[in-house]
Structure 1
Amino acid sequence: MVRPTPSVGGVGTLTDTQNRLRAELPALLEKYDVPAAAWAVLKDGEVVEGAAGVLHRGTGVEATTDSVFQIGSITKLWTATLVMQLVDEGEVDLDVPFRTYLPDFRIGDEDAAARITTRMLLTHTAGFEGDIFTDTGVGDDCIEKFVGVLHDVPQLFLPGELWSYNNAGYSLLGRMVEVLRGKSYDECLRDHIFTPLALTHAAPTPYEAIMFRAAMGHVQHEPGGRYEPAPIWGMVRSNAPAGSLLSMTARDLITFARMHLEDGKAQDGTQVLAPGTAARMLEAQVELPYLGVLGTSWGLGFERYDLEEGVLAGHDGNTIGQNAYLRFVPGTGVAVALLTNGGDAIELYHDVAGSVLAELTDVRMPALPAPPAEPERIDASRFEGTYSTQNVDLTVSQDEDGRIWADQVPKSELAEELGAEAERRELVHFEGDSLINLEPIQGMHIPHVFLGDDGDGHAQYLHIGRAVRRV
Structure 2
Amino acid sequence: MKRKLIGLVAGIGLVTSVSVAPAAQAVRAGAGLTPAAIDAYLAESMESTGLPGMSIVVTHKDKVVHAAGYGRDSDGEPVTAHTPMRVASVSKSFTAMAVMTLVDDGKIALDEPVARQLPEFRMADPRAAQITVRQLLNQTSGLSDSTVDIGATEAATSLAGYVSTLRTGRLAADPGTRWAYCNVNYDLAARLVEVAGGLSFGDYLKQRVFGPLGMTHSAVSDQAVKPAAGFNSIYGAWVSRPELPGFLNGGGSGGVITDAADMGSWLISQTGSGRQLVTAKSLQAMHTPSKVRDYGMGWGSDTMGGAKLLVHSGNLFTYNAVEAVSPDTGYGFAVMANGTALHDDTYNVLTGLVAMSQGRTPDVPGGDRQLFELVLGLIALAAAALGALGALRSRRWARRRAGRPGWRIGLRLVPSLLPVLLLACYPQLISFLMNDRTVTWAQLTYFAAPMTITLVVAAVAGAVTAATRLLSVVSPR
State the TM-score, normalizing by the size of structure 2: 0.67
Output aligned runs, 1:251-400, within 5 Å: 251-262=261-272, 265-266=274-275, 271-288=276-293, 297-305=294-302, 309-343=306-340, 348-361=345-358, 392-394=427-429
| SS in structure 2 of the partner of residue 338 of structure 1 | strand
Match of 1:40 among 24, 46, 57: 57
Alignment partner of 1:49 is 2:64: no
| SS in structure 2 of the partner of residue 312 of structure 1 | strand
Unaligned runs of 5+ residues in structure 1 are 1-10, 289-296, 371-390, 398-403, 427-471
Alignment partner of 1:188 is 2:204: yes
Q: In structure 2, what is the Cα distance between the partners aligned to 1:157 and 1:364?
A: 45
Output aligned runs, 1:51-66, within 5 Å: 51-56=69-74, 59-66=75-82
Match of 1:447 in 2: none
Q: C-alpha root-mean-square deviation of aligned residues, in Å?
A: 3.7
Give the residue type in structure 1 aligned to 2:429.
Answer: L
Flag the 1:232–1:276 CA change in 2: closer, same or farther, 3 A.
closer
CA contact 1:281–1:299 (8 Å) conserved in 2: yes
CA contact 1:108–1:152 (8 Å) conserved in 2: yes
| SS in structure 1 of the partner of residue 81 of structure 2 | coil
CA contact 1:32–1:347 (8 Å) conserved in 2: no
Q: In structure 2, what is the Cα distance between the partners aligned to 1:84 and 1:365?
A: 36
Q: In structure 2, what is the Cα distance between the partners aligned to 1:200 and 1:409?
A: 34
Match of 1:117 among 132, 139, 143: 132
Q: For each residue in 1:152-189, what CA deviation from the matched residue of structure 2 results, as whole angstroms up to 9, or x when unmatched?
A: 12321221221110101111100001001111000000
Match of 1:226 in 2: 237
CA contact 2:342–2:448 (8 Å) conserved in 1: no
Match of 1:22 among 7, 28, 39: 39
Flag the 1:85–1:365 CA change in 2: closer, same or farther, 3 A.
farther
Q: In structure 1, what is the Cα distance between the partners aligned to 2:131 and 2:344?
A: 37
Flag the 1:149–1:231 CA change in 2: closer, same or farther, 3 A.
same
Flag the 1:125–1:364 CA change in 2: closer, same or farther, 3 A.
farther
Match of 2:181 in 1: 165
CA contact 2:87–2:254 (8 Å) conserved in 1: yes
Flag the 1:262–1:205 CA change in 2: closer, same or farther, 3 A.
same
State the TM-score, normalizing by the size of structure 1: 0.68
Q: In structure 1, what is the Cα distance between the partners aligned to 2:55 and 2:245?
A: 19
Alignment partner of 1:136 is 2:136: no
Flag the 1:349–1:194 CA change in 2: closer, same or farther, 3 A.
same
Task: Point out the structure with the larger helix share.
Answer: 2
Shift of 1:100: 1.2
Q: For each residue in 1:37-89, what CA deviation from the matched residue of structure 2 results, as whole angstroms up to 9, or x when unmatched?
A: 00110113221111111111xx3222112111101111110100011111112
CA contact 1:310–1:363 (8 Å) conserved in 2: no
Alignment partner of 1:242 is 2:253: yes
Give the residue type in structure 2 aligned to 1:256.
Answer: W
Shift of 1:311: 2.1
Give the residue type in structure 2 aligned to 1:240.
Answer: G
Q: In structure 1, what is the Cα distance between the partners aligned to 2:357 and 2:303?
A: 18
Shift of 1:342: 1.1
Alignment partner of 1:207 is 2:223: yes
| SS in structure 2 of the partner of residue 108 of structure 1 | coil
Shift of 1:241: 0.8
Q: In structure 1, what is the Cα distance between the partners aligned to 2:213 and 2:306?
A: 31
Q: In structure 2, what is the Cα distance between the partners aligned to 1:350 and 1:277?
A: 27
Match of 1:74 among 83, 90, 109: 90
Shift of 1:364: 11
Shift of 1:24: 3.5
| SS in structure 1 of the partner of residue 302 of structure 2 | strand
Flag the 1:31–1:422 CA change in 2: closer, same or farther, 3 A.
closer
CA contact 1:41–1:49 (8 Å) conserved in 2: yes
**How many pairs does the alignment contain?**
361
| SS in structure 1 of the partner of residue 211 of structure 2 | helix
Flag the 1:364–1:418 CA change in 2: closer, same or farther, 3 A.
closer
Output aligned runs, 1:425-440, within 5 Å: none
CA contact 1:163–1:286 (8 Å) conserved in 2: no
Equivalent pairs: percent with the same residue?
Answer: 24
Flag the 1:308–1:54 CA change in 2: closer, same or farther, 3 A.
closer
Flag the 1:298–1:143 CA change in 2: closer, same or farther, 3 A.
same
CA contact 2:86–2:320 (8 Å) conserved in 1: yes
Match of 2:12 in 1: none
| SS in structure 1 of the partner of residue 339 of structure 2 | coil
Flag the 1:105–1:413 CA change in 2: closer, same or farther, 3 A.
farther
Give the residue type in structure 1 aligned to 2:240.
Answer: P
CA contact 1:235–1:320 (8 Å) conserved in 2: no
Give the residue type in structure 2 aligned to 1:284.
Answer: P
Q: In structure 1, what is the Cα distance between the partners aligned to 2:431 and 2:132?
A: 34
CA contact 2:427–2:444 (8 Å) conserved in 1: no
| SS in structure 2 of the partner of residue 149 of structure 1 | helix
Shift of 1:33: 2.5
